[in-house]
A and B are shown apart, each in its own frame.
Chain A
Amino acid sequence: MTTASESFAIEEEAGAAARWSRYLVKRALIYAGLVLWAFVSLFPVYWTITTSMKVAKNVQQGALIPWVDYQPNWLGWRSLGLSPDTILTTSTVRDEFLLRFLNSVTTAVSASILAVLIGALAAYGLSRFRYKFLWMRNNDISFFFLSQLILPPVVLALPFLVLYRELALLDTTVGLVLLYTLSVLPIVIWIMKDQFDTIPTELDEAAQVDGLGSWGTFFRIILPMALPGMVAAFILSLILCWNEYFFAALLTSTDAKTLPVMVASQTGSQGINWWSMAALSTAAIGPLVLVGILLERYIIKGLTAGAVK
């Protein structure tokens, strides 16, 4: 009896040890995977930032680590007029860059505000009321809005080129804002409808009893509660508009040109000026990397809206 139970205990101990080692291997593999993908995600960003501080020789040598492989200097940033020693002097490149940067900010922010405004209204209507227009009911109207998502930019680009020429909207920020609003509107409606659906209708009813009309209810009671969804929709729109290139490349030339078009136009000409391109790319992605890190919660909320039921 005793020997049997002893051997059983030993077996269990051996089993526990095996389980423990298997557990350790599994943990190691998980962390190895995480580190590997973190490297894949971050290395291009790291490479770009460090390259903006390299001279030609460092690039050719394939230097990787600042102060060890090479001595960083402000070469790339000086060519943009943004290094510490040139920031106070006049620089045409910097003026050009700031103009494009400002264009991008104006366009992206205006389009996002407009999209969130009319998108939130439509989403609230679709979430609370029952519509009937010709044969279309709520589901059909929702589908009508969402189906715009599959419309590729290239289908609209050429008609808009002609239309905007006739409307004198070519190369204007207004024209670009209208198009960007259109392209993010389906996503905004999607996110906002998901948000409004989570707010109980009892609140609407209570507000109506208190004598607020449907618009009063919307603005005073429901909209403040839907703020997280609005922020999520706004941030996501901002990212998409900031990065948009296709329409901007076709429909702007001088006045309304945005930052991505400026970055793209630099790559083509006169060989590659590594350090200045790296500095320009860093400046173009910098704001968004910051937004991504600081407002990650909202981005995830926006991306996952309605995906998981």
Chain B
Amino acid sequence: MAGAQPLPGEDFIEEGADPRAAVRRRTGIVLIWVASIGLGLVIVLQALNSAGVLPLGLKDWRPTLYGYVLWAVALGYGLVLTRGEAGRRALFILPAALFTVAMAIFPTLFGFSIAFTDWNLSSFSGQKFNGFDNLAQLFRDPFYWNALANMVFYVLMVLVEYAIAFGLALLLNAEIRARKLWRVTFLIPLMLSPVAVSWMVGKSMLEYRFGPVARFARWLGWDTPSFFGDAWIAKLSIEAMDAWVSIPFVMILLLAGLQALPKEVQEAARVDGATGWQSFWKITFPLMLPVSITAIVLRIIFKLKLADIVINVTSGGPGGATDTVSSFIYREYRDRSNVGYGTMLAMFYLVLIVVFVTLLLNFVSKRMQRMT
């Protein structure tokens, strides 16, 4: 699969007139061919079997799975035989590459083929190709567009999370006692599972009668606190929970950036009489820009997957106000077993994400180039 080039100044040991090497090379080529043809044969037989043309009595597609694994082993061994050292080097990335192709690329392509069918797992009619019907339905689905609009809100809130995380990182970077203890304390929410947080915070602390936050809100003068009744308050409550879990992640990245800053620059600014505020905006913040951008981009990527908390606390309510694309598709499948349409929604989302992230990375790298 992947051929490695020799490092410069290194000889290609396998090249030579050694007859045994030639035999080895030929064995390798034959091995790869035999394995590939074998795998192809298994797939064809399985397809015939599942189409009912050739009843082999196979209940599932496991033989194809085993065939793929055997083929991968044969390919690796064949590469070593044919290419020698270069093949041995290719063997390093081969497992990860073949694994990713089988587990991510193939299912995604398969997903695109499901997306254009009418397929409900709970009905008996099975899979039916229906062209662009799903896509047309998608454009008419107000709940999907509502979920996408909510995603814009959630992604924009990353900037607020970033601001809080920056503040915390500055606190941790100040001259304080027991820095490690504070750091561990701040890191704890990151360890917790979103499902547990859904209960601990969403269902327990934010409970409108007995929850401590509701009690606190009443003490502040909000007589009838309700955190999931009003659309915007519900959105903010969900965002607050997600922020609580993930602010430590951004904070740790920023703290590492702060600790790597050259101390001399800040010293020089202080000698020149710059106040803390000035030296932050003129020196620390610009120097922190690369780390900040890494943190924000990573956080946005994770934010686009937000689902667990929404599924467990509000199920998208009230009236879809807190829905994310993931939680909406989850319900589309869970409640309606609508695999065809649900997959189209997911694939459309994937295309949007890829375009968005590509544009974001381009924008960021252009901006960075202009600055340096």
A residues engaging B (CB < 8 A)?
A: 30-31, 33-34, 37-38, 40-45, 47-48, 51, 59-60, 62, 64, 118-119, 121-122, 124-126, 129-133, 136, 141, 144-145, 148-163, 166-168, 178-179, 181-182, 185, 189, 213-215, 218, 239, 242-243, 245-246, 249-250, 260-261, 263-264, 267, 272, 274, 277-278, 281, 284-285, 288-289, 291-293, 296, 299-300, 303-304, 307-309
Contact = CB atoms under 8 A, between A and B. Distances in A.
A45 B187 CA distance: 13
Contacts of A150: 301, 304, 353-354, 357
Contacts of B190: 239, 292, 299
12 contacts: A34-B182, A42-B188, A44-B197, A47-B204, A144-B100, A155-B108, A155-B349, A163-B110, A167-B62, A179-B103, A264-B198, A285-B196
A189 B96 contact: yes
Interface string B1-17: 11111010000000000
A291 B7 CA distance: 42
Contact of B104 (A148, A239, A299): A148
A40 B186 CA distance: 9
Contact of A300 (B205, B210, B252, B304): B252
Label chain A's interface by main secondary structure: helix
Contact of A245 (B5, B193, B353): B193
Contacts of A42: 185, 188
Contacts of A182: 99-100, 103-104
Nearest to A268: B312
Given A152-B305, A158-B342, A166-B60, A185 B99 contact: yes
A267 B199 contact: yes
A37 B200 CA distance: 18
| Interface size classification for chain B | 35 or more
A168 B333 contact: no
Contacts of A249: 311, 330
A153 B201 CA distance: 24
A59 B95 CA distance: 53
B65 A308 contact: no
Lowest 6 CB-CB distances: which A-B pairs, in order? Answer: A125-B92, A243-B193, A122-B96, A133-B2, A292-B191, A159-B111
B346 A158 contact: yes
A136 B22 CA distance: 28
B30 interface: no
Contacts of B54: none
Contact of A155 (B290, B291, B347): B347
A243 to B, nearest CB: 4
Contacts of A161: 121, 333, 339
Contact of A37 (B171, B180, B349): B171
Contact of B191 (A44, A218, A239): A239
Interface stretch (B82-90, B137-145, B230-238): B82-90
